[in-house]
Amino acid sequence: MRLATWQGASPASDLETGLAEAERALAAAAAMGAAALVLPEVWLPGYNQDDIPARALEIDSAPMRRLADSARKTGCALVVGYAQRDGDSVYNAAACFGPDGGLLANYRKVQLYGPRERAIYAPGDAYALFPLAGETAALLICYDVEFAPHVKALADRGATVILNPTANMMPFTHVVRYTVPAMAANHAVTIAYANYCGSEGDLTYVGGSQIVGPHGEVLALAGDHPGLLVAEVPPRDPARLSTQTADLRHVK
């Protein structure tokens, strides 16, 4: 399985810029044989925007249909983070459109980060797992992947790949350096982690988008500039996969 992540500057509420950049990255990822491309958290309209509730999109809105059509045209699945409007509620969500343009999953962030997110968004309450290119994939968003119980729950349900939009900002460089690879290694899953770079309002993003294999190996790692990562995920080697789930002893 070959995966791709796009690391870019926030579209900053410029919807056309966000859509066009997503389409260019998707076309490039498809040309390089990727099964799926992951974009950052709340790519539409941009993570740190003041008017997110007003700009939140319904899952069947024209911009989302445009991205679904781009996935169909390229034959490459697309995971896009977006602010989802559902009735009176707004969710920090990620949609995965399959290579045929169909909606494979729509996930709502469970672990909202900080007072700002909790003021804007309602929390999600369910995982999303789905078949993708011969693997069982799942979605998490940013802070979610830092919680071992969520990663373990997905692995226990059969997930082998976690596709993870994020908006990780300074000073949390430890997440990209240590946490994400450790989560992949400890739970025997591949993680494709797509972050922003540059600044947006009062936030400076740490970059560090990465694709980490199921044995904890970092297969591709971005710096702090825009870039497309594409990596071939190695076969899962039973001799190297973590056995923590089977070996765990519970102490009263």
pLDDT at site 4: 98
Amino acid at 175: V
Share of the chain above pLDDT 70, in %: 100
> What does pTM read for this prediction?
0.96
232 is catalytic: no
Two structure tokens written together for 99: 């290579």
Residues 212-252: pLDDT tens digits? 999 999 999 999 999 999 999 999 888 899 988 888 898 99
48 pLDDT higher than 90: yes
CA distance 219 to 231: 6
57 pLDDT higher than 90: yes
pLDDT at site 244: 86
For 252, the 3-state DSSP assignment is coil
pLDDT at site 246: 84
From 109, 117, 135, 197, active-site residue: 109
CA distance 170 to 176: 11
- Mean pLDDT score across all residues of the chain: 97
CA distance 225 to 207: 7
Share of the chain above pLDDT 90, in %: 94
pLDDT interval class at 24 (50, 70, 90): very high
Q: Which secondary-structure segment (H or E) carries 180?
A: helix 180-187
76 is catalytic: no
From 142, 146, 197, 200, active-site residue: 142
pLDDT at site 10: 98
120 pLDDT higher than 90: yes
From 41, 117, 135, 146, active-site residue: 41
142 is catalytic: yes
